[in-house]
Amino acid sequence: MSKIIWSVIDEAPALATYSLLPIVNAFTQAAGVEVVTSDISLAGRVLAAMGLAEDELSKLGEVVLQEDGNIIKLPNISASVGQLKDCIAELQGQGYNIPNYPENPANDAEKEIQAKYSTCLGSAVNPVLREGNSDRRAAKAVKNFAKKNPHKLRAFSENSKAYVAHMEGKGDFYGNEKSVVCEKDQKVTIALNGKELKTINAVASEVLDGTFMSVSALKAFYKKTIEDAKANGVLWSLHLKATMMKISDPIMFGYGFVAFFEDVFTKHAATFKELNVNPNQGMSDLEKKIKGHAKEAEIKADFLAALESDSPKLAMVDSDKGTTNFNASNDIIIDASMPVVVREGGKQWDRTGAACECVAVIPDSTYGMFHAEMVADCVKHGQYDVTTMGTMQNIGLMAQKAEEYGSHPTTFELAEAGTVTVTAEDGTVLMSFECEAGDIWRMSRAKDIPIRDWVKLTVERTRLEGIPAVFWLDENRAHDAQMIKKVKTYLSDYDTTGLDIQFMDITSATRFTNTRIRQGLDTIAVTGNVLRDHLTDMYPILELGTSAKMLSIVPLLAGGGLYETGAGGSAPKHVEQFLKEGHLRWDSLGEFLALAESLRFLGNKHSDANLVALTAGLDAANDAYLDNSKEPGRKAGEPDNKASHFFVAQYWAKAIAEGDNAQLAAKFAPVAKALIDNEAKIMQELLAVEGKPQDIGGYFHPDFAKATAAMRPSATLNAIIDSI
């Protein structure tokens, strides 16, 4: 029996799994495929780190290196310190004997605990599983559905004042970058003033980049953007990725927090020091630490006064709850927040709930330039037309941890001023940097085998699609200059006759892509790992309404496949709604599409007629799901995620029953009839729980029986599925 591994993860997609997976297994086992689970949720990883559970992530790290590895990977939490602490507290409340997370370890034992827990922070999952490059695009049926059923994009006002501010010159990562190609397999040491920070095992032909963010330049940048926002009369908002970029971006977040509330932090510096307030953790953590203190009321009043002063208005995460842009670093995930700025016509929300034009502040220009051009393009040309716009496909370099940024173990907040050196095994200094204390230094890496595969995948997709492909590489950036040389060399290995493959810097590539999109034309963006993240949220959210509907395939270097099911940026709100009123509006279309591709891979690999028929049936079901608008409603009382699973099961069974495979048709004909005949009863049972609070026994670590009962409330549907 063939095997597909289905990842158990977090929040809304995890809840949906309790309903969907029994249906999936009932269908796939009929064709000799078993779908098994692997718990790589934040809670599962915390328990594994403490030795109380199997390390499922490490096991999956072995599977992706196997020729027949086949994994469906749902969105997981890239945890911040705040989320980690909340998860630990929940597990402790469930009886697990695990220690608290020591923010400021006082001894070796606490340092060891912190180190174990730190493996769960940030993008801990993706670097392990992504042993291949990324092929992301909208399935044609999904794109056509979006054109016929356009979601709302709000118009940019005439003479809109919205813009993006990013650093320029020699202050940020882009301006300070240096890059070398490693000549051979060897140890390479990063040191500060001769003291080792990290030694890595570099490999021959690997691209090594070193760079740093000047903290003094960052402070000056924040100060200027705040002054400019006030002068321009726009809302001020900070956009980072402190979840994945777990070292650098929380630090940048903290400096932004202090810059905006400079007077408050200066006035209460002694109290904040006494209470170990860390600005990197945001306002929510600060409020916990001042709770009960003699100055609590005064401090809160001072923050409120700063918000109400004539300083620029601050963007809100939740206006109704008074949650600001500085509530917690994990609240502002740039690849989720910036598409909203564009979608809403260059606006965000102020304290009153009013939508206001904003300046989106993005310190790191290596991707800030993309967002700047996205907003500038709409200010100049107006909002996109969902009914006619073309599509962006993406080929992303990410195999073997290529270009991991911020979440990798080679990012450091420098303890002292001096020289950072990157030295080869023979003592040759490959790169050196003059830095100040507190500067953020980082190294990124890209191995040669993934780069070769990236080029190969680009040529294959360009030939198949017959549209232009653009390598988003800037000859004036150190890393990109090295990549351009390699890509041009490896392109010469292929016959590219008739293919339109170009190289452009970020701004030019964005303009080229957007011009074509406005003309209804499609383009392939060939990018590194960082831009892949940003593009494959921005464009799908504009085109489709959500990035969760993207087809995301990772052809693994070893020969297997990793099938990702989209993004989970809005998943926390979905869970909140479900717990309050029993309605889960998470759309599992990403899972449906990923499952179809996973089954297609197995059917093609093994020339299995049953698998081919099963896959064709699911393709038909996915089309019917879209054509009949069976996606979950947003409000309680409307059919939700559970109902969408029922309809996919019905359409899938019907398609198989009407298909050419006699064996499967005979098996699924009575299933299809039962699902069709009992539709009214099943929907009545599913809708009966709408509007009712749900208890699933935990947010990060739900109780299996309680969550299953909550997500499988139709006895009639369960009986039909369980009888297959």
Q: How far apart, in whole angstroms, are the C-alpha atoms of residue 223 and residue 261?
A: 11
Residue 596 has a pLDDT of: 96
Sequence ranges of the domains in the chain? 164-172+214-381
Rounding to the nearest 10 degrees, give the CA dihedral for residues 452, 457, 458, 459.
Answer: 90
Give how far the C-alpha of residue 679 lies from the chain's centroid of Cα atoms, to the nearest Å: 36
Torsional sign, CA 546, 548, 551, 554 = positive
- Extract the tokens encoding 586: 């998470």
Q: How far apart, in whole angstroms, are the C-alpha atoms of residue 173 and residue 207?
A: 16
Q: Supply the mean pLDDT for the chain.
A: 95
b/e sequence 89-101, b meaning 16+ C-beta within 10 Å: ebbeeeebebeeb
Residue 26 has a pLDDT of: 97
- Extract the tokens encoding 590: 């990403």
**Which positions ≥6 away from 431 have C-beta within 8 Å?**
178, 179, 180, 208, 210, 421, 422
- Report the candidate in 22, 342, 303, 23 with the shortest Cα–Cα distance to residue 152: 342
Label the pairing between strands 523-527 and 392-396: parallel
Helix (H) or strand (E) holding 307: helix 296-308
Q: How far apart, in whole angstroms, are the C-alpha atoms of residue 179 and residue 163?
A: 31
Q: How far apart, in whole angstroms, are the C-alpha atoms of residue 261 and residue 324?
A: 12
Q: Backbone phi, then psi, for 312, in 5-degree steps?
A: -60, 150
Residue 570 has a pLDDT of: 56
- Point out the residues of the chain with pLDDT beneath 50: none
Report which residue type is found at 251. I
> How many Å is the Cα radius of gyration of the chain?
26
> How many Cβ atoms sit within 10 Å of the Cβ of residue 706?
15
Mapped onto helix, strand or coil, the DSSP state of residue 537 is helix
Mapped onto helix, strand or coil, the DSSP state of residue 87 is helix
Residue 569 has a pLDDT of: 54
Label the pairing between strands 551-555 and 561-564: antiparallel
Alpha-carbon separation of residue 318 from 230, 348, 546 (angstroms): 22, 11, 20
Residue 637 has a pLDDT of: 96
Residue 405 has a pLDDT of: 64
Residue 407 has a pLDDT of: 59
Rounding to the nearest 10 degrees, give the CA dihedral for residues 676, 681, 682, 687.
Answer: 140
- The CB-side HSE value for 505 (13 A sphere, CA atoms) comes to 13
- Report the candidate in 717, 474, 605 with the shortest Cα–Cα distance to residue 69: 605
- The CB-side HSE value for 175 (13 A sphere, CA atoms) comes to 15
